[in-house]
Amino acid sequence: MRSKVSTANSIATILLLGRLFISSASAAHDHQAPAAGNAERQGSAERAIQQESAGRGRTWTSAPLIAPAGRPGERNSANMVPVNLAGVGLQVYGADATQSPKNVPLEDGRWRFAPEPSAKGGHYWMQAAEVRGAETRTATTAWSFGTQGKSPAAMLAQAKGSLDIVPLRIPEHGGFREGTAWEFGVRYEGQPLPGAVLHLHTENGTRTRVVADAEGVAKVLFPRDFDPASFDKVAGADRTRRGFVLMTELEPEGRKFVTAFNHFYYPDTMRGRNLWAGAGLFVIGMLCAAPLLRHRERNNA
Amino acid sequence: MLETLRKVFPTVSRLRFTVQMAMFFLMVWGSNVVGHYAADKISTALPALSCAYDKQHGSYCVLIPLQHQMHHRIGAAVVKAQQVTMQVVLPILLTMATFLAFFFVVGKAFCGWICPLGTVQELLNKVGRRFNRPLHRLQDGNLKKVRPAKWVMLLGLIFALPILAGVGIAPHGLSNPYCDVCPSRIVTTLLTADVEEIALKTGDSTRMLLNALGNIVAGFVVVAALAIRQPFCRICPMLSFNSLFQRLSPMRLSKVKHESCEKCGVCTQACPMDIPEIAREHGRKAYHEDCTLCGRCAEYCPQDGVIKLKWGPFALFSSSREYYKGRVKGELPDGTVKPVKFVKRGEANA
């Protein structure tokens, strides 16, 4: 139902070509380089952030996180570390929902995961849960390898824990962007959880909350909280990113579940672009061709 | 069944237009049907300028992965020569295999029947013809100057610069230089109400210059298409890339020698790429590297069975005098049609 509405909205959007001349609000999407997956496009400056992010995570949120900690240039494997989570194993779900998740042990404070050669790459779902008495703290994240794999639609629909926060769609072209809204489903025991409260914490310091609708879907608007001074000096705004986490809690029958989904978000692409300059150059190109419309060719060659 | 098809598609042009429009919707907005993930797409190595920057596309162009592989794989591997392994070769082979699998079926007809930028240019030219704008044709002198440009674009922008950027000799901003100047990136994203790609990238100076050039080229192509048929196709690296493999596909143009060809030349007039060889030559030479297999030359050839669109041994369409007589009633070989009412009828052809 939701996807039909989404499709109808997309078609309506297409018809509103007047939007072409409205600048940033509608254009706040990523699209730096459109190849197979996120890892393919990570610049070296961006990769260097990964190693620091684990340490930083402890300071900007108390939510359990699965943070990337790979070395720069890592392409075919994922090195992850737990943050605000005691030493537990990592479960990795592949795009093929019929397969059982792979258990990755914590070794030297890290989880090291590489997809099977037959599975190539694509999208994976990572989950680590720590049980403290009656409380279960679960950290989740999505990871994408550069090599194209299967569609993650079935993987996202699959119930993985008691309390799940799942993006309805994993971004493939650069990630979540500030100023854009993304839908996240909240499920308990595989069923939608209407009215669930999601807390959004960002590495840039934003603290906000979103309430899931009757279908258990929360529409999260990523805040415009990037300081231009924080942009990567070499790679620019397009390759700068910060972490965010969405967290929710549920206390059924004397038990307590705390579940978090963490990932990265990026600055609005239009921060590094000038619409009017681009449109002006386009018009200059049109004007250069305009004589072709007025003057008849005399010599035909 | 065949009769019904003939009624629905009385001409090859009508059939081609229908295919073009269906493909156009698929290439520009198709993800709403096939799905949003790369894995859902029809192909990520399509032999047509279906732009990957368009967030609603149903499939995308082979030039994107090629540039990325040149940059990330080959460039990096040259730096660390010992790492030239199957991890480098295999992705490139897979891209090429996917491309060839698609290309085998319809060959260069991807240019003439499927490419969304080709369709946009063709539609614009129809508008220009309806409004009685002049038609500028490229003839021998200009053709000789323009034809090498598509090879320069392929070798320079798709292969050389991305590799040099990967090695570290060229700036990182040259990692996918063709996409930065490709008009399809701007035109198809605008069609999805996305202004991100027309906006000038201001961060990296190399990329900013390329983007500026791309915007000027896109603007030029949009207006020039009103008066020149397929202006960008003539320098498109996809055309040269496809022509590298054009003999591998069973889909091809076939022409036999006929005594009236030298004086006639109607096929060249009908050709949107202004290829004079189709009138002068026969056999292999008539199927020129610039041919997009649109089939107009066959439609407008007034001689029975001289020009054919063939798939292997099967003739999909064969020229005939009867067909030609009917075809010229609606549209002249050079695309001249009856102008809209408020436009004065005048000399359409310069």
- Choice between B282 and A27, residue whose per-residue pLDDT is larger: B282
* Minimum CA–CA partner of B40 in chain A: A151
The share of chain B scoring above pLDDT 90, in percent, equals 62
Interchain pair B128, A293: CB under 8 A = yes
Asked if residues A122 and A152 have their Cβ atoms less than 8 Å apart, the reply is: yes
Please say if the pLDDT value at position A117 is more than 90: no
Interchain pair A286, B222: CB under 8 A = yes
C-alpha to C-alpha distance for A176 and A163, rounded to whole angstroms: 23
C-alpha to C-alpha distance for A39 and B71, rounded to whole angstroms: 14
To test the contact with chain A by mutation, choose from B133, B137, B223 the residue with the greatest count of A C-beta atoms within 10 A, namely: B223
Give pLDDT tens digits for B325-339: 999 988 999 888 877
Q: What is the pLDDT of residue A170?
A: 92
> Which residue from A36, A153, A173 is facing B55, i.e. has the nearest CB?
A173
Give pLDDT tens digits for B94-151: 888 888 888 888 899 999 999 999 999 999 999 999 998 999 999 888 898 999 999 9
Given pLDDT bands bounded at 50, 70 and 90, which one contains residue B80? low
Residue A44, domain member (yes or no): yes
Average pLDDT across chain A, whole number: 79
The CA–CA distances, whole Å, from A106 to A49, A89, A245, A263 equal 22, 6, 22, 20
C-alpha to C-alpha distance for B142 and B124, rounded to whole angstroms: 22
Number of domains into which chain A is organized:
1
C-alpha to C-alpha distance for A150 and B347, rounded to whole angstroms: 56
To test the contact with chain A by mutation, choose from B201, B222, B269, B274 the residue with the greatest count of A C-beta atoms within 10 A, namely: B201
C-alpha to C-alpha distance for B219 and B183, rounded to whole angstroms: 8
Q: What is the pLDDT of residue A295?
A: 57
Asked if residues A146 and A75 have their Cβ atoms less than 8 Å apart, the reply is: yes
Q: What is the pLDDT of residue B71?
A: 80
Which three-class secondary structure state does DSSP give residue B41?
coil
What pTM was computed for the model? 0.81
User: In chain A, which residues have their Cβ closer than 8 Å to the Cβ of B221?
Assistant: 285, 289
Please say if the pLDDT value at position A19 is more than 90: no
Please say if the pLDDT value at position B241 is more than 90: yes
C-alpha triplet B231, B29, A42: angle, nearest 5°: 90
Residue A20, domain member (yes or no): no
Please say if the pLDDT value at position A301 is more than 50: no
User: Using CA atoms in the order B166, B72, B117, B57, what is the torsion angle rounded to 10 degrees?
Assistant: -150
DSSP codes joined into one string, B83-94: G-SHHHHHHHHH
- Phi first, then psi: give them for residue B216, nearest 5 degrees: -65, -45
Task: Using DSSP bridges, classify how beta strands A135-145 and A256-266 pair: parallel, antiparallel or unpaired.
Answer: parallel
Which residue range is the domain that position A69 belongs to? 31-268
User: In chain B, which residues have their Cβ closer than 8 Å to the Cβ of A45?
Assistant: none
Q: What is the pLDDT of residue B25?
A: 95
Question: Could you tell me if the ipTM is greater than 0.85?
Answer: yes
The share of chain A scoring above pLDDT 70, in percent, equals 75
> Which residue from B87, B198, B204 is facing A278, i.e. has the nearest CB?
B198
- Choice between B338 and A31, residue whose per-residue pLDDT is larger: B338
Interchain pair B223, A152: CB under 8 A = no
Q: What is the pLDDT of residue B88?
A: 67
**Residues B312-331: what's their mean pLDDT?**
93
The CA–CA distances, whole Å, from A115 to A73, A107, A147, B32 equal 17, 18, 10, 29
Residue A24, domain member (yes or no): no
Tell me the CATH number at A255: 2.60.40.10
Give pLDDT tens digits for B3-27: 888 888 889 999 999 999 999 999 9
Distance in Å, alpha carbon of A182 to nearest chain B alpha carbon:
14
User: In chain A, which residues have their Cβ closer than 8 Å to the Cβ of B39?
Assistant: 95, 122, 148-152
**Residues A159-182: what's their mean pLDDT?**
90
- Count, residues in chain B: 350
The share of chain B scoring above pLDDT 70, in percent, equals 93
Q: What is the pLDDT of residue B320?
A: 95
Residue A280, domain member (yes or no): no
Of A90-94, A172-176, B206-210, B310-314, the poorest mean pLDDT is in: A172-176
Interchain pair A275, B217: CB under 8 A = no
C-alpha to C-alpha distance for A1 and A274, rounded to whole angstroms: 37
User: In chain B, which residues have their Cβ closer than 8 Å to the Cβ of A237?
Assistant: 203
Of A113-117, A204-208, A217-221, the poorest mean pLDDT is in: A113-117
C-alpha to C-alpha distance for B306 and B257, rounded to whole angstroms: 7
Interchain pair A14, B142: CB under 8 A = no
Distance in Å, alpha carbon of A128 to nearest chain B alpha carbon:
26
C-alpha to C-alpha distance for B64 and B178, rounded to whole angstroms: 9
C-alpha to C-alpha distance for A24 and B195, rounded to whole angstroms: 8
To test the contact with chain B by mutation, choose from A17, A282, A293, A297 the residue with the greatest count of B C-beta atoms within 10 A, namely: A282
Residue B160 exposed, middle or buried by CB count within 10 Å (0-12, 13-18, 19+): middle
Given pLDDT bands bounded at 50, 70 and 90, which one contains residue B262? confident
Q: What is the pLDDT of residue B150?
A: 96
Q: What is the CA radius of gyration of chain B?
A: 21
Quote the crossing angle between the two packed helices B205-224 and A275-289, to the nearest 10°: 40
Beta strand spans in chain B (E):
200-201, 251-255, 307-311, 314-318
Quote the crossing angle between the two packed helices B116-130 and B183-191, to the nearest 10°: 80
To test the contact with chain B by mutation, choose from A38, A273, A287 the residue with the greatest count of B C-beta atoms within 10 A, namely: A273
**Residues B172-195: what's their mean pLDDT?**
93
From the list A174, A180, A145, the residue with the least C-alpha distance to A238 is: A174
Asked if residues B272 and B296 have their Cβ atoms less than 8 Å apart, the reply is: yes
Of A41-55, A212-226, B212-226, B312-326, the poorest mean pLDDT is in: A41-55
As a whole number of Å, the end-to-end CA separation of chain A is 58
**Residues B53-70: what's their mean pLDDT?**
88
**Residues B159-172: what's their mean pLDDT?**
89
**Residues A74-91: what's their mean pLDDT?**
87
Q: What is the pLDDT of residue B79?
A: 64
**Residues B210-223: what's their mean pLDDT?**
97
From the list B315, B257, B324, B321, the residue with the least C-alpha distance to B296 is: B324
DSSP codes joined into one string, A132-194: ETTEEEEEEEEEEESS----SHHHHHS--SSEEEEESS---SS-EETT-EEEEEEEETTEE-T
Asked if residues A220 and A246 have their Cβ atoms less than 8 Å apart, the reply is: yes
Q: What is the pLDDT of residue A283?
A: 98
> Which residue from B40, B44, B56 is facing A151, i.e. has the nearest CB?
B40
The share of chain A scoring above pLDDT 90, in percent, equals 53
**Residues A46-63: what's their mean pLDDT?**
60
